[in-house]
C-alpha cells in the first residue's frame, strides 16, 4: 500500500503542535518567579514569592457582583399620632457613625410622634463643633423625611435645653426598646436628647422586614448627601486616583489602614477567635500581591499623613497615596491643615465607598458602613485581608461575608 505524503505531513504537524502544547502547560503551572521584588529585603518578605502566572491570569480581581440593586424600601405610612415634643441629638465620631446615629434618631422620633431637630456635628476634640450643613445637604435631608417625621432646623426658643432629658439608646434600636425605655421619659419630660452607643458592631440583616426597617433604610441610605463643596472635593480626588490608574483602566483600590488604630485593644482580637481583626501595611501588601494585583496598581490609604510603616506597602505598590498627596492644593488648608479630623474622615469614607475595590485592613463600623454604601451602589468588590500561606490565591476566596452571604442590612434595603 502506498503512503500518502499529505497524511505524513499532517501527522508530523499534529505531533509537533501537541508537544508545544505540553511545554506551554508545564511552563504555566510550574515555572514560578522566585526573585524577591525590589524593596522587600528590609521588611521581612524574604520567604514571600509571587506567582506571576497567577497575577497575569487573575483578570477578574477588579470585578465584583454586577447585579444592579435598587432601593426597595417604601416610605412608611403617616399614621403615627403627632406629639408636641422634640428629639435632639448630635452626630459624632465620623461619617461611619453618622449613618447609624441618623437612623436611630429618625426611628425614635417617628415612634414617639416627636419633631426631629437637625443635629449639629461634633468632633473628637472639645469645642470641635460644626453645623450639619457644613458637611451634609440639609435640604436633601429635610425633603427625604417628608411624610416620615417632622423636621426643624433649630429648637424653638420656648424650649429650654436644660429641661430636655438625656437618653442613651443602643445602635439599631428597636421599637420595643423605645416603648419600654424612651417613651416613659419622653412623656414625663416632653423632649429627649439622644446619645447612641454601640454595644457591638452588628450590621447583619435581621429576619422579616418591618416598618421600622423601611425607616432605617431611608435614613441610612436615602437621607445623607454631602454638601456641594465637599461632594466636589471627593469627586475631584476620585478622578485624580483614576487618572493615576491608567494602566488598570482607571481602577483603584482603597485600603482602610490607620496606623494609630493598629495597637488599640479592639484591633487585637481574642485568643479564642484566633483570627486577626487588623492587618498592617506589610501584611496588606503581601495579601494584595498574592491575590493577583500587579505592582502598578493605584492604592489609596486612609492614613491621614504618610507614616514610615507604610513604606512596606509602597515598596510593593509604588503608586500608593494618602489624601495629602492627591488633594487639590486650594483645599488643603481647609480640609487637612485645620486640625479638624471630621472633614478628613468624610473624605476617607466617601473615597472608600467609590473605589473599585475596598480592602478593610481594620474591622469595625467604618468597614461595616462603607460596605453598606458600596452594596447599595453595586460596588461589591470588598476583599478582607488574610494571611495566605501559598504564593497565590483567588481573590474571590476573600470576598467579604457581607457580600458573599448577602447578610448585610443593606440587602434588606436594596433588591
Confidence of residue 337 (pLDDT cuts 50, 70, 90): confident
Calculated CA dihedral for residues 120, 123, 129, 131, nearest 10 degrees: -40
Query: What pLDDT does 6 receive?
Result: 54
| Domains of the chain, first to last | 86-222 (no CATH), 227-268+275-413 (3.40.50.11350)
Q: What is the DSSP letter of 409?
A: T
Which of 4-18, 24-38, 312-326 has the highest mean predicted lDDT (pLDDT)? 312-326
Task: Say how far apart CA 51 and CA 393 lie, in whole Å.
Answer: 9
Q: What pLDDT is stored for residue 211 in this prediction?
A: 75
Rounded average pLDDT over 9-30? 43
pLDDT of residue 136 exceeding 50 = yes
DSSP letter assigned to residue 407: -
pLDDT in tens, 28-42: 332 222 222 222 233
Judged against a pLDDT cut of 80, whether residue 25 lies above it is answered with: no
Tens-digit pLDDT profile for residues 180-195: 999 999 999 999 999 9
* Comparison of pLDDT for 373 and 27, the residue scoring more: 373
- Written in H, E and C, the secondary structure of 169-218 is EECCCCHHHHHHHHHHHHHHHCCEEEEEECCCCCCECCCCCCHHHHHHHH
* Confidence check: pLDDT of 405 > 60: yes
Confidence of residue 338 (pLDDT cuts 50, 70, 90): low
Task: Work out the pLDDT band at 267, boundaries 50, 70, 90.
Answer: confident
- Which cell numbers hold the place of 287? 495579601
Between CA 129 and CA 132 the distance in angstroms is 10
Structure confidence at residue 48 as a pLDDT band (50, 70, 90): low
Helix 95-112 to helix 365-377 angle (10° resolution) is: 80
pLDDT at position 27 over 60: no
Residue pair 108/182 in contact by the 8 Å Cβ criterion:
yes
Amino acid at each position: 500500500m502506498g503512503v500518502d505524503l499529505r497524511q505524513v505531513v499532517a501527522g508530523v504537524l499534529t505531533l509537533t503542535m501537541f508537544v508545544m502544547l505540553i511545554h506551554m502547560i508545564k511552563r504555566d503551572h510550574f515555572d514560578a518567579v522566585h526573585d524577591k521584588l525590589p524593596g522587600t529585603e528590609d521588611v521581612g518578605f524574604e520567604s514571600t514569592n509571587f506567582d506571576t502566572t497567577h497575577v497575569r491570569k487573575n483578570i477578574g480581581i477588579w470585578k465584583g457582583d454586577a447585579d444592579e440593586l435598587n432601593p426597595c424600601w417604601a416610605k412608611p405610612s403617616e399614621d403615627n399620632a403627632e406629639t408636641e415634643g422634640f428629639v435632639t441629638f448630635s452626630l459624632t465620631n465620623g461619617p461611619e457613625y453618622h449613618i447609624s446615629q441618623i437612623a436611630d434618631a429618625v426611628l425614635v422620633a417617628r415612634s414617639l410622634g416627636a419633631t426631629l431637630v437637625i443635629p449639629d456635628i461634633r468632633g473628637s476634640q472639645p469645642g470641635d463643633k460644626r453645623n450639619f450643613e457644613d458637611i451634609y445637604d440639609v435640604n436633601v435631608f429635610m425633603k427625604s423625611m417628608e411624610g416620615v417625621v417632622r423636621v426643624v432646623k433649630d429648637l424653638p426658643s420656648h424650649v429650654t435645653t436644660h429641661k430636655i432629658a438625656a437618653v442613651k439608646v443602643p445602635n439599631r434600636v428597636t421599637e420595643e426598646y423605645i416603648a419600654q425605655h424612651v417613651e416613659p421619659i419622653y412623656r414625663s419630660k416632653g423632649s429627649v436628647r439622644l446619645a447612641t452607643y454601640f454595644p457591638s458592631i452588628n450590621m447583619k440583616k435581621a429576619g422579616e422586614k418591618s416598618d421600622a426597617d423601611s425607616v432605617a433604610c431611608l435614613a441610612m441610605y436615602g437621607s445623607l448627601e454631602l454638601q456641594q463643596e465637599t461632594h466636589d472635593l471627593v469627586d475631584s480626588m476620585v478622578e485624580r486616583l483614576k487618572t493615576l490608574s491608567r494602566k488598570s483602566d482607571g481602577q483603584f483600590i482603597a485600603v482602610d489602614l490607620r496606623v494609630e488604630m493598629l495597637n488599640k485593644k479592639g484591633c487585637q482580637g481574642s485568643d479564642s477567635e484566633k483570627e486577626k481583626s487588623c492587618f498592617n501595611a506589610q501584611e496588606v501588601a503581601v495579601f494584595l500581591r498574592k491575590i493577583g494585583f500587579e505592582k502598578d496598581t493605584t492604592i489609596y490609604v486612609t492614613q491621614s499623613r504618610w507614616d514610615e510603616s507604610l513604606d512596606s506597602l509602597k515598596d510593593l505598590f509604588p503608586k500608593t497615596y494618602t489624601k495629602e498627596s492627591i488633594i487639590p492644593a486650594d483645599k488643603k488648608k481647609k480640609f487637612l491643615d485645620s486640625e479638624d479630623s471630621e472633614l478628613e474622615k468624610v473624605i476617607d469614607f466617601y473615597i472608600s465607598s467609590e473605589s473599585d475595590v475596598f480592602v478593610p485592613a481594620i474591622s469595625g463600623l467604618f468597614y461595616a458602613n462603607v460596605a453598606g454604601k458600596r452594596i447599595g451602589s453595586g460596588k461589591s468588590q470588598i476583599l478582607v485581608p488574610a494571611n495566605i500561606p501559598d504564593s497565590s490565591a483567588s481573590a474571590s476566596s476573600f470576598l467579604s461575608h457581607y457580600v458573599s452571604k448577602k447578610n448585610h442590612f443593606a440587602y434588606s434595603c436594596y433588591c
